[in-house]
Structure 1
Amino acid sequence: MEAAAVNRDESQEMPGSCTCNPDLYYPESLFNYAKVVSFRCPKALFQIDETGAAVRLRPNICLPSLIMDELLMHFVKDGKVDNAFLYLLGQAENISLKCAALHGCDDISDDGLKALFKHNLQSLDISDCSGVTAKTMENLLRCKDSLQHLNIDFCRGIITKEVMQNFNFTNLMSLNVNSIQLLKFETHLVEQFFSQLKNLTSLDMSNQVQVHSTKSLDFLNLVAGQLQSLVLYNCKPKLITDSWNIICSMPRLQHLDVSQEPTGMTFGQPRFLTNVITPQMLSKLAESTPTLRSLDISRHNLGSWDEELADESDPNVYVQSSIPGLKRLRRPLDFIGMWMTRWIDGVPPNEDQRRQRSKHTHVPAEKVAGGLTKDTLLVALEVYTERRRRFSKS
């Protein structure tokens, strides 16, 4: 019996153990084992010089994209990716690469990336890479037929007038241009830019500044019929309110982020924005986008706890909601972000009072990110990992 118990415990610790019968286990697949060896012992795949850098692929080694994509991420995490390593990946004949995630690699440049583009990349993430310029976008046209996902977040010098005119990535489905000020270009260039993106379904245009009062997001009309995800995080509030009718005309929209960030630690700064997104605007959004599943409206005025709309919603048609403006949802959302809103701000500070109030409060979402309860705070910490300033004490 003791021996059986030991075997049972050991089988539960095996990576490929069978959960239905603890006396049996499935061994690791050869594929998973190959990945583990690749990550733990690069010398098995590459010839390593005295500095620990990989200089060439060993003879008779073949790395398919299923392994190489993850191996590249592992090298990035360890800070071992530079131009020399990208040259190696570009010159090796027995390497296949589809997804290149190079976030934060400051030691790579346009030349190194050019070597990498010999692979027909489907996904490229060069966000926050300080050495990348508009030359990379010109070189990337080699992958224009295969590229589906592009993240150039915080690559501020990468988009030029010439790039706007020749952005021929017609198969691109996901684009992240966070902090790249597209509105600084002439309106017809921005419209030409988006008119080329026939298959775009996900767009992140966070941190856009309205450089002139005549600038707007009207160009979103060109992709309104196809967008499923739109992120306008920390954009100037007037840009959002002026484009609200366009947002409400997106029939396939599933995720919308119009949340705001505190502008600083200035004393007396308001905790939430007033009359930017009103209950009436939310009501129109709920009625106009039947596919909406995720919504982030952090730091907006959502109305008080006890505020009621003039017309009561039919409980047989609409979900139960204590938030003015979301009474017109026909089904609960999967997620709602409500960090630092007036609605959350009005929660009684006493824990007992808060618990009592929560019993009579209906938030129409499966997951809620905010400061209402311990659970909603944990969700906020999970989903806002890249927005740390949100948790700073103001």
Structure 2
Amino acid sequence: MTSGMEHIHCPWESNSPDTLLDICCKYLISHPDTFCDEHGGGGGGGGVGGQGPWVLRPAVALPTELCEKLINLWQDRDPTALDDRFINIFRDLSCTRLKRVNVRNTLVTDVGLSVLLSHNLVELDISNCKRLSERTLDNINKFGENLTTLVLGKTRDILLESFVTHTHTNSCEEEVSDPSAPSQIKKDKKGHILRTPNLRKLVVRDFIQPNESEYFGLLLQPLTRLTHLDLAGCMFLQARHLLPLKQLISLNLHSVQRMQEALPLLSELKSLKFLDVSQANQKYGVFENPDATLANLVSNLPNLTSLDISGTNLSGDGTFDEYRYSCSKTDLRGGETDMEEDQCDIPGLKSRIQNPLEFLGLYNTFYDACHRNHIPARVITGDANEAQILAATAAYLDRPEVLVKALNELFHIFRFDTCHHQPKALDLILLAMLRHRTEKHIQISGSASLFYIAKGEDKTSLSVRVREKMIVVLLDAMETHLRDSTMMRNGCLTLCQFRIPQDVLFEYRRLVQLLLRLIEDRDDGDDFVRRIAIYLLNSLACQVDGEQKMLVGDLGAIDTMLKLIKNRVLHHMHDDMLEIAWSAMWNVTDETPVNCLRFLDGQGMIYFQKCLKEFPDKPELLRNMMGLLGNVAEVKELRSRLMTSELLTTFADLLDSNSDGIEVSYNAAGVLSHIASGGAEAWTIEHPTRSEVLERMVAAIERWDLASKRNINYRSFEPILRLLEIYHTPQCQHWAAWALANLTRVYPEKYCSLVEEEGGVELLKALLASPIPYQRIKALARVVITQCEQFKIWGSLEHMDSDSDT
């Protein structure tokens, strides 16, 4: 037991790219078929749902480093995905090698674990593996000769409740037993429960063994080489069972009861450097004569550097800085002392004034001992200040009930104060959330702090890798606790603090899927979560390429938005979510024909007409709807589905709209220009006539102010440039030329280069050379060409000025 800080990987500090090994392993995890084959269905590999186990391909051999990293990365992706089906890869001992394996919190069974143990492991962590049974104890004893570290943690079913002599065999088959008999502890013919002669570290937590008073003696007796023992939360442990373990360096007895009698005996373990006698429940932390008890313990453990007495009264009942002994010049052993040199507010630690402990746990002690000024320790856990809270968070990463309290204290620092060690705090928060993915309150508290980190003044110092780690941890938490509104609020609000979509492109699919679920599945009446999810989805659909827009459509965004719109129309409700839903579809359909088709097939035009009728005076809504229909009209194959008298009349009438400046009128003209570009033969309706609509369109264009500022964003001018070549209908050229003239005049730095890059200047020059376009079109074309030429000149001058300054 230590403060833990020095052992924590710090993502904040490194912004270097992944190693080649990491890159290769991540690729293999994402593409297991590159080195494995799926072996049939069912089978003995633990596959579920008809899926067979993975089998290593012939002639493929994996070194130890690669095998262990594959297990870790597969588990990081999702602990519940690591099961026997994946473990089966390591069945071939000639082509795979394992030495250190951590499968905590996974779905591995006895069968899968036997595969791992057959590698004669050195280290094994199977804490909280709920599918393991007492058969695993047989396998540990069968293959445990080389084990130096064994972490059973809270995997209780491995160690059962009463004794039965068990003759060790090489078979993994279950013994036939009376199902009505009580569960029994298996021991071999030598009387050993664990046959792991080289074990140095053992962790068994929260094990309740009521039937045998000598159980722990039998468990520990043969483990003579143990140096690190963790029995946190174990019941009915007797300290005398620990006395043979003279080589113990670290002993964790957190929340072990009846410690009053145990402490004097622990004083005989002279090699101890790390000792934890803390209590989660103060009820069990009350000692008689606490000052003398602690003084005796510490004075008899000369090598002690780390001590945790959290949740106990061992720190005494002092009054902080004013505390002194009742006999001011007499210490606990009757010697004389000088008050001025008595700088110790914990009586039992007076002997360590000149030799302070490296670590002292004082979290939740009686009388708030952590708030005292003179404490002989370099690192202290408590809630008195930021350093103590960080130390507590690091030290209690494996104690969820304490960890959540420490994280709440840390959150209050971020919310109401200034965190002076933000990198360390961030590392601890991420580690806590990663380690306790299913602990809702840890995820909520951690994500609340991440919000303040992501929005704080230091956010610019967050490296790419740090931002990625924060986003992954948030997505893990949100997917795990999807039904918890607080977690969803925290997650969404924190994600909004990142650069969207740039920072989340590496998890684009995953985030889109999550947001769609939030929009669709909210049945708790929390419109806030749905609103912010739609906002994020809309941001994700903007400023991305066609492939990602197609992905958003493939994942069901169009259908989800239409369902939301249907609900709003049904309830006659206009709100920002209705507007953002149309905006999201506008973005998703941009130059993405398949999404335009999805919109039409989803009865999108019906909802367009209903919204137009229900909410005729909502400028933002009209603009978003017409922008979307502009995208649909750009797709030649879909224009015929817009060719109805009702729709064309609606579009023509919107030409006269002053809603949202010129935007609604502009978008209506764009829709009509693309429809008209198909020629007279494509105009299959009698009313309104084509000539009538084109005349109204030109009149509308001429009313617009060429200097109008715009509420629109173009990634490409390709659809507009195509209209410049429609010589059979100059009115289409008129709208396209006006659009380019307006955008290059008002936003030259953004759009002049885009016109150049996409060949627009050449098309405009060809238009000027043609006798077909009327003069107004050519005048607008000259505006665009002039703007582009001037922008190039200004760009050259700025470049020359920059060189001159240099």
Give the secondary structure class of the aligned counterpart of 2:87: helix
Cα distance, 1:217 vs structure 2: 2.4
After superposition, residues 180-195 of structure 1 pair within 5 angstroms as: 180-182=207-209, 184-187=211-214, 189-195=215-221
Aligned to 1:82: 83
Cα distance, 1:385 vs structure 2: 2.5
1:365 aligns with 2:365: no
CA deviation map 1:172-195 (0-9, x unaligned): 0111111123564242x5333322
Aligned to 1:56: 55
Residue 97 of structure 1 contacts residue 119 of structure 1 at CA under 8 Å; is this kept in 2? Answer: yes
User: Structure 1 CA distance, aligned partners of 2:113 and 2:213?
Assistant: 29
1:322 aligns with 2:345: yes
After superposition, residues 295-334 of structure 1 pair within 5 angstroms as: 295-301=307-313, 302-303=315-316, 304=318, 305=320, 306-308=323-325, 310-311=330-331, 320-329=343-352, 331-334=355-358
Structure 2: runs of 5+ lacking an equivalent: 1-13, 42-48, 165-185, 409-806
| 1:290 to 1:35, Cα distance in 2 relative to 1, 3 A | farther
Greater helix percent: which structure? Answer: 2
Residue 90 of structure 1 contacts residue 117 of structure 1 at CA under 8 Å; is this kept in 2? Answer: no
Cα distance, 1:388 vs structure 2: 3.2
Q: Could you say which structure has the greater relative contact order, defined with CA pairs below 8 angstroms and 6 or more residues apart?
A: 1
User: Structure 2 CA distance, aligned partners of 1:53 and 1:379?
Assistant: 46
Please give the TM-score of this superposition, normalised by the length of structure 1: 0.77
Matched letter for residue 173 of structure 1: R
Residue 207 of structure 2 contacts residue 235 of structure 2 at CA under 8 Å; is this kept in 1? Answer: no
After superposition, residues 55-134 of structure 1 pair within 5 angstroms as: 55-77=54-76, 78=78, 79-91=80-92, 93-105=94-106, 107-134=107-134
1:339 aligns with 2:340: no
Give the secondary structure class of the aligned counterpart of 2:351: coil
User: Structure 1 CA distance, aligned partners of 2:239 and 2:157?
Assistant: 21
Residue 229 of structure 2 contacts residue 251 of structure 2 at CA under 8 Å; is this kept in 1? Answer: yes
Aligned to 2:136: 136
CA deviation map 1:40-66 (0-9, x unaligned): 654443346999987222343322222
Residue 319 of structure 1 contacts residue 364 of structure 1 at CA under 8 Å; is this kept in 2? Answer: no
Residue 276 of structure 1 contacts residue 300 of structure 1 at CA under 8 Å; is this kept in 2? Answer: no
Matched letter for residue 245 of structure 1: P
1:45 aligns with 2:72: no
Please give the TM-score of this superposition, normalised by the length of structure 2: 0.39
Count of matched residue positions in the alignment of Structure 1 and Structure 2: 340
Aligned to 1:257: 276
User: Structure 1 CA distance, aligned partners of 2:94 and 2:75?
Assistant: 21
User: Structure 2 CA distance, aligned partners of 1:117 and 1:56?
Assistant: 18
Q: Select the residue among 194, 213, 216 that pairs with 2:238.
A: 216
Cα distance, 1:321 vs structure 2: 2.9
Q: Select the residue among 226, 232, 235 that pairs with 2:256.
A: 235
Q: Select the residue among 198, 205, 209 that pairs with 1:178.
A: 205
User: Structure 2 CA distance, aligned partners of 1:314 and 1:290?
Assistant: 22
Cα distance, 1:101 vs structure 2: 0.7
Greater strand percent: which structure? Answer: 1
| 1:63 to 1:375, Cα distance in 2 relative to 1, 3 A | same
Cα distance, 1:245 vs structure 2: 1.7
Identity %: 25
CA deviation map 1:202-258 (0-9, x unaligned): 111111234xxxx732111121x111111111111x2x1111122111111011111
| 1:129 to 1:279, Cα distance in 2 relative to 1, 3 A | same
| 1:380 to 1:227, Cα distance in 2 relative to 1, 3 A | same
Give the secondary structure class of the aligned counterpart of 1:325: helix
Give the secondary structure class of the aligned counterpart of 1:145: helix
CA deviation map 1:57-112 (0-9, x unaligned): 2343322222222221222232321122223312363110111211112x322122
Matched letter for residue 327 of structure 1: K
Structure number with greater Rg is 2
Matched letter for residue 249 of structure 2: Q
Cα distance, 1:376 vs structure 2: 0.7
Aligned Cα root-mean-square deviation (Å)? 3.1
Structure 1: runs of 5+ lacking an equivalent: 1-11, 17-27, 264-269, 348-357
Cα distance, 1:295 vs structure 2: 0.9
User: Structure 1 CA distance, aligned partners of 2:16 and 2:155?
Assistant: 43
Residue 57 of structure 1 contacts residue 92 of structure 1 at CA under 8 Å; is this kept in 2? Answer: no
User: Structure 2 CA distance, aligned partners of 1:43 and 1:279?
Assistant: 64
| 1:222 to 1:48, Cα distance in 2 relative to 1, 3 A | same
Matched letter for residue 374 of structure 1: E
Matched letter for residue 46 of structure 1: C
Matched letter for residue 222 of structure 2: Q
Give the secondary structure class of the aligned counterpart of 1:63: coil
Aligned to 2:497: none
CA deviation map 1:274-326 (0-9, x unaligned): 435711111112211111111111011112130327326879xx995321101
Give the secondary structure class of the aligned counterpart of 2:54: strand
User: Structure 2 CA distance, aligned partners of 1:346 and 1:145?
Assistant: 44
Cα distance, 1:366 vs structure 2: 1.7
Residue 363 of structure 2 contacts residue 370 of structure 2 at CA under 8 Å; is this kept in 1? Answer: no
Cα distance, 1:370 vs structure 2: 0.2
